[in-house]
Amino acid sequence: MLILENRKFIKTPFTNEQELEQVVIDNYEYIFGPSSVYLPKALIKTGDGSGTIPDGFAIDLSTKQWYIVEAELIHHHVWNHIAPQVSKQVIAAIQPLSKRIIEDLAVTQYQNDNNTKDKFDEQNIKEIDVRKVLGEILNKDPHIGLPIDSISNDLKEWARTLKYNVKLWTISKYVDFNNQNTIAYEFPEEFKPVLDTEEELSKSHNYNEINRYDIWISDLIDQGLIMVGDQLQMDYKPRSGLKTTYEAEVLDDGSLKLLGKVYKSPSFAALAGIQASGSDRKSVNGWTTWKTKDGKLISELREEILLKND
């Protein structure tokens, strides 16, 4: 339950899979990351010509990964519905013709959507190189992205058997107890999946290894990589405007103080600065945005902690 003043929001099932699917489309950056682009569903075929239509495809330009996206409700049976459906989608998606279809979808979106073009520009991908970069990404194995309302043990165990990396994110729906038309959706903090089989496999090779999703700025403080009172810096230039440098103070609990407000998440601190510049962006990866005064990204400091535990 969520409480807002005298209002209570109670956890409620999704009306149907289409509702969850639309919520994912509207908010995909909170799942696949702020540098991701989301492509609409399209018919793709297996080598023998059997057709299937995933809910969509996501391409993360920052990590150079791509996803077959299938929004699911847990009441759909793992073995009778989710497993065979996703298996067919994977087989179809890795076909050369399917990859060309996905590439064409991405190029068309780049040409017609300024938000998509901005994301390519932010990654320093020039227009002449768009197809080349997309081809390189799609030449890699796909990741299976499953936003879902709840996760069962069978779903986890099935995901761990697959050759391809699977990420499971839980999306929850809350409805105002006294006004059924007021709805809130809960998304994972810092894009963190409930299950990431690639991270699990990496961790299984080293018992002491920790997950990058579990590292916070407070851990950087504990490791002596930054100090309480340090000023982290972020530069941002909106499309029409001057570049602004923002400074956020590191507090003793690992929070960041920016523009008079305190943020536990570096991503929301960065977003506050970007929106203060007049941008209407909805998300940003604070780990790859904030730098120390000597120019080191806090994501690089996070990697230092991971290497120490490797």
Q: Do 140 and 192 lie in a common domain?
A: yes
Give the residue from 88, 108, 196, 100 showing the smallest Cα distance to 139: 100
- Whether 232 and 298 have beta carbons less than 8 Å apart is answered as yes
List 69's β-bridge partners, or say none: 56, 145
Q: Look at residue 25 and tell me if it is in a domain.
A: yes
Q: Do 179 and 230 lie in a common domain?
A: no
The single residue listed with the structure tokens 């996760």 is 151
Q: Is the pTM for the entire model greater than 0.95?
A: no
What SS3 state is found at 287? Answer: helix
Boundary (domain end) residue, out of 204, 233, 265: 204
Q: Do 47 and 190 lie in a common domain?
A: yes
Please report the pLDDT score of residue 212 as a whole number. 67
pLDDT above 70 (res 207): no
* Residue pLDDT, tens place only, 17-34: 999 999 999 999 999 999
Q: Do 74 and 141 lie in a common domain?
A: yes
Which residue segment(s) compose the domain that 263 sits in?
A: 217-308
* Residue pLDDT, tens place only, 30-88: 999 999 999 999 999 999 999 999 999 999 999 999 999 999 998 888 999 999 999 99
Q: For 10-19, 43-52, 154-163, 212-221, which range has the lowest pLDDT when averaged over its residues?
A: 212-221
